[in-house]
Amino acid sequence: MAFNISIISNSSVVFAQCTDNNMVEFVYNMTAIYGENGDQASVVGISALIFIFAAGFFDLNLFSRISRVSAVLNPTVRFFLAGSLNLFVPVMSYFLSEAKNGGAHCSSSKPAAGDSDNNKELSLLARVILTWMLLVELLRRKVEGAVIIGRGTQSYSTIVTHAYNVLWMGNLVFFTVKASGKKAIFGVLWVLCAAKLVQRVVITEMAKRSFAHGKNPRLISSYMAATATATALDQCRYAVMGEENMVIRPGPGGYELNLAVAQTDDILTVGKIWATHHHPNLKRLCLSFALFKLLRRRLENMPITEPETTECRSIIFDALCPCNKKNKNNNNNNNNGVGDDLPLPAEAAAVTLFQVLKDEVTFLTEYYHSVLPVVLASPYFFFVNYVFFPVIVVALCVMTIVLCGNGGILYAFNSVWTDSSVLSVGLVVKTIKCLLKNVTTSSKAFYTLIDLTICYILFIAVAYDEASEIFVFLVSNWFTVSLLHAYSPKPTSQSPAAARFVLFLSRKFRRYPSNINIKQLSLLGICGGGLSALALPTAKLPRRAKRSIFKRFRDGGALSNGRAALSARFAWACESSGRGVAKVILVWHIATTLLETRTPHSVSTEQTTANKERRNPKTAARLSRYCAYLVAFKPELLPDHSEGTERVYGDMKEQIKEAVGGPWWSYYLLSERSRRDKVHKIADKFKPDFASASLTMVQKGAVLGKMLLDEADKDASAVWKMVAKLWVELVVYMAPSSMEEHARAHEAALVQGVELITMLWAARTTTSCCQWRRRKRNLCSSSTRPHSPSVLRTSCVASVSV
């Protein structure tokens, strides 16, 4: 690479023409160590691995931003890159040492007489490896959280590791690189690494000490306890931004607040934003942000009190989503009806609810798992972090260049040009052309081209990473809410042009679709053979399912594991030890899968062509497959004990293989239809004693499926309506959990994507809209204050921590 040639190559080498002598000298300097001491295979192998590593970073920066504007990194990619980074520095340090030891004959630089080994310049390959180390360190934040939210000493473990790496590379730069120009270039890269480390520490401390972020849950608890409740959106007291301005001082039971500040423009509440003329999507986004702050309290051991959940239930179901069941034909656009006094059609109200929940959970995801500092987004933070801080870093880079030139300003900057050719664009092109001409005839030219390509890829990845961070920051929902807070007193038309432009970009690039995708797993289908969750197909949550779930939430009442949705004839299929739900899900999943195969033949043509008749089967089938996916891949999100759920799922797989028969590999070779037929025939072996406890889950599912098929021959529409109602009841039933481990499980699962079950858990947590059928007596009085966690955790866990 021209950059590396400039840093590491003898300036006496002439690259103006592509001559064999020039190429021989350059390629020899790059690959001389390859054949020494039998290390060729290991050096070539490490170059290939680093090439893949660099290409992965490049792809991560470029294509992930094109496909999904997000501040959250896929956990699988994050895990892979984190493991690679942990090994990168020690491995590269070893190869740097090997290349350094070979520098006496690998470098074309000729030391002066009397120079010791410590005064010899690093070899060409050694400086290439050092370049890799510095550039990869600049990309480290892609796999580590921008804001450390963790608790205790573990929250700083990655920062300490990062600091050790930066100090080690600083030692390599300033004590092994000798030439002033080369040291200046490497010194600038090291200053950038050190600046990123300092920036990360400052951001972490700001977030932890801020009342708007790290201390916000307790502040919100004090604020909610000290203010009056409201049931109308234009009077809603929920704090969106600026509540830190109310804090006077900490008190024995929470924070002492100056509530008069809440009436000023320093604090943005849901009521204030609803009284403005902003776009309905922006109003709904602010409500989601306020609900996210309430939900954080549940994850940080400050449960929401029962009066607060009552207020939240009224705000969401009566004010935000007033349902007009009679106005079915008035199917207005959901985006234009939010906040009006006119009731929405039931289906539009359901879509509105799920959009609010999705944004709420997305805020929660980015708070705990963001790799970019969007949590601190505000106009002030943007200026400090992306305008003022880069100016300081540039000044430090200039100072580093001067210091590397021993204080001589002109000499220092001239040495950058004389000792290297980093700014020579023509040299870059000529070098690449020379290598490409020889790459097919010389293996060493090929290895050299690979090493230089790695440098180019890493340079582009770093540059693109910086640009994409600014873009994602500007279009993030966090920055949108902060702009609304800054300019909410003014009409949108009077806001600064820059603010209006950013709000426009945010609506265009961060516009979350109303569709909610759910994973689909069929235990009798081709996907039941043990594929990973990433390979599973997805499907949209049907509108009818949204409407049914919304109606179940709105109606409230006690929940059951599906029994309440069934007639007495089918109630036996919901029998399970305790309140276990995994066995019920798997039994009904088998039965629903069997029912799917026969219904098209048992329903008349008029019925199948009617859109209304297809909605219940679609709802039942998709929720059935989603629940099976939860049992198989997300047992920690279910109310059952996760290990017990795993055991139940393992038993089910063995029972299916036994039902299919034949050797173990025959199950994977059979078609889906063959598996279903074999399971369906199981029901013929049993008498109508369907409630027998001796039946396995597969046998119960087969018998239940036969019963449903017999009923479907009489009235398929009624059967599907019952089955769809059962799956809606089961999905809502699985959402709550008073146990701390389930709340933590939902928090950990956020990084893998917004799950439907997590959205429903969030709704149940903040509204307590449905209760368990066998619920303990409520021990919390309305006077219980959220700033008494010891009382809440012992007396309220069964009543308000759902």
Asked if residue 554 has pLDDT above 70, the reply is yes
Asked if residue 481 belongs to a domain, the reply is: no
Location of structure tokens 């409500």 = 287
Kindly state whether residues 595 and 660 are assigned to the same domain. Answer: yes
Predicted local distance difference test score (pLDDT) of residue 599: 53
Residue 467 resides in a domain: yes
Same domain, 742 and 777: no
Torsion of CA 312, 317, 318, 320, to 10 degrees: 90
Can you tell me the distance from the alpha carbon of 240 to that of 80, in angstroms, rounded to the nearest whole number?
37
Same domain membership, residue 149 and residue 20: yes
Residue 327 sits at the vertex; the CA angle it makes with 234 and 552, to the nearest 5 degrees, is 75
Lowest mean pLDDT among 259-263, 375-379, 411-415: 411-415
Specify the pLDDT at position 394.
95
Q: Is residue 482 part of a domain?
A: no
Rounded to the nearest integer, the mean pLDDT of the chain is 77
- Contacts with 737 (C-beta within 8 Å, 6 or more apart), sequence order: 639, 743, 761, 802
Q: Taking the CA of residue 744 as centre, how many other CA atoms within 13 Å lie in the half-sphere pointing to its CB? A: 7
* SS3 labels along 474-485: HHCHHHHHHHHH
Same domain, 590 and 553: yes
Q: Residue 423 has what DSSP assignment?
A: T
More confident: 231 or 727: 727
Q: How confident is the model at residue 108 (pLDDT cuts 50, 70, 90)?
A: very low
Residues 372 and 387 in one domain: no
Tell me what pLDDT residue 787 has.
37
631 domain residue, yes or no: yes
**Other CB atoms within 10 A of residue 772 CB:** 16
- Cβ partners under 8 Å of residue 797, min gap 6: 303, 738
Helix (H, G, I), strand (E, B) or coil at 378: coil
pLDDT score, position 778: 37
Domain span holding position 89 = 2-204+380-473
433-461 pLDDT per residue, tens:
777 877 777 777 777 788 888 888 888 88
CA–CA separation, 458 and 41 (whole Å): 23
User: What average pLDDT does the segment 72-77 reach?
Assistant: 68
Phi then psi for 346, rounded to 5 degrees?
A: -55, -40
643 in the same domain as 722: yes
- Domain contains 485: no
CA angle (86 as vertex; 83, 87 as ends), nearest 5: 95
Query: Are 191 and 272 within one domain?
Result: no
Token reading at 588: 């009904």
Confidence grade of residue 566 (pLDDT, cut at 50, 70, 90): confident
* Rounded average pLDDT over 647-652: 92
**Total domains in the fold of the chain:** 3
Identify the weakest region by mean pLDDT among 681-695, 706-720, 757-771.
Answer: 681-695
Whether residue 714 lies inside any domain: the answer is yes
Say if residue 365's pLDDT is above 50: yes
753: left (phi over 0), alpha (psi -120 to 50) or beta: left
Burial of residue 662, with CB atoms counted within 10 A of its CB: 0-12 exposed, 13-18 middle, 19 or more buried: exposed
Residue 603 has pLDDT above 60, yes or no: no
Do 331 and 449 sit in the same domain of this protein?
no
Through-space distance between the first and last CA atoms of the chain, rounded to whole angstroms: 59
Residues 700 and 595 in one domain: yes
**Does residue 319 lie within any of the structural domains?**
yes
Residue 154 clears pLDDT 50, i.e. is over it: no
Q: What is the mean pLDDT of residues 759-782?
A: 63
Local structure of 247: helix, strand or coil: strand
Encode pLDDT of 259-271 as tens digits.
999 989 899 999 9
Q: In the predicted model, what is the mean pLDDT of residues 65-81?
A: 64
What does pTM read for this prediction? 0.84
pLDDT in tens, 170-216: 999 998 888 888 888 899 999 999 999 999 889 888 888 899 998 99
What number of other Cβ atoms are within 10 A of residue 122's Cβ? Answer: 26
Tell me, yes or no, whether 180 and 297 share the same domain.
no
Instruction: Assess whether 184 and 300 both reside in one domain.
Output: no
Q: Over 90: is that where the pLDDT of 774 sits? A: no
Helix (H, G, I), strand (E, B) or coil at 783: coil
Q: List Cα–Cα distances, 287 to 210, 241, 266, 283, 626, in angstroms.
A: 22, 11, 18, 6, 28
Of the pLDDT bands very low, low, confident and very high (cuts 50, 70, 90), residue 560 is confident
Say if residue 366 is in the same domain as residue 431: no
Average pLDDT over residues 707-730: 92
Q: What is the pLDDT of residue 797?
A: 29
Q: Reply yes or no on whether the pLDDT at 775 is more than 70.
A: no
**Is 799 inside any structural domain?**
yes
The pLDDT, as a whole number, for residue 293 is 95
The tens digit of pLDDT for each residue in 314-359 reads: 999 999 988 765 444 444 444 333 334 457 788 889 999 999 999 9
Average pLDDT over every residue of 76-85: 70
DSSP string, 158-190: HHHHHHHHHHHHHHHHHHH--SHHHHHHHHHHH
